[in-house]
Amino acid sequence: MNQKLLLSVLAIAAMTTALSAQSGISSISIAINDVCGMFLSLLPPLSILLVVLGAIFFGAGKLMPNAEFSNRATNMAAGAIVGAVLCLVIVLLIPSILQSIYGGTFSCGLQTWG
């Protein structure tokens, strides 16, 4: 579990560094703002895709005659639906979490809250 957390933190740091180096951004806060905007724009379509994949997995599992494969497909469908819900929860909670951290008006990508 700790390895996954470390890899995700390193991936976010690498994205921030690559974004700041690519566009010539000198301030790290602007790069973090852009990464936040990318997450907010990518997560809702990803959640829709996960719901569709969950439906496909569930339907394919019901067509399989073997009970083991059917259970596996149902578990994959449940995992996809849970992932979709988590994506939507993250998108809904990011503004309130960042507002409590920064206190006041802040921007995340092109959106401004506060």
The closest alpha carbon to 49, from 97, 88, 14, belongs to 88
| Residue 23 counted as domain residue | no
Reported as a single tens digit per residue, the pLDDT across 5-18 is 777 777 777 776 66
Please tell me the pTM assigned to this model.
Answer: 0.69
Query: DSSP string covering 64-107, please?
Result: -SSHHHHHHHHHHHHHHHHHHHHHHHHHHHHHHHHHHHH-S-EE
Q: What is the pLDDT of residue 22?
A: 57
| Residue 102 counted as domain residue | yes
pLDDT of 37 over the 60 cut: yes
| Residue 107 counted as domain residue | yes
The residue with greater pLDDT, 30 or 74, is 74
| Residue 2 counted as domain residue | no
Reported as a single tens digit per residue, the pLDDT across 79-108 is 999 999 999 998 888 878 877 877 777 777
Q: What is the pLDDT of residue 106?
A: 74
Answer for the pair 81, 114: CB distance below 8 angstroms, yes or no.
no
Question: How many domains is the chain built from?
Answer: 1
| Residue 16 counted as domain residue | no
| Residue 22 counted as domain residue | no
The mean of the pLDDT values for the chain is 82
| Residue 13 counted as domain residue | no
| Residue 36 counted as domain residue | yes
Domain range for 71 is: 29-113
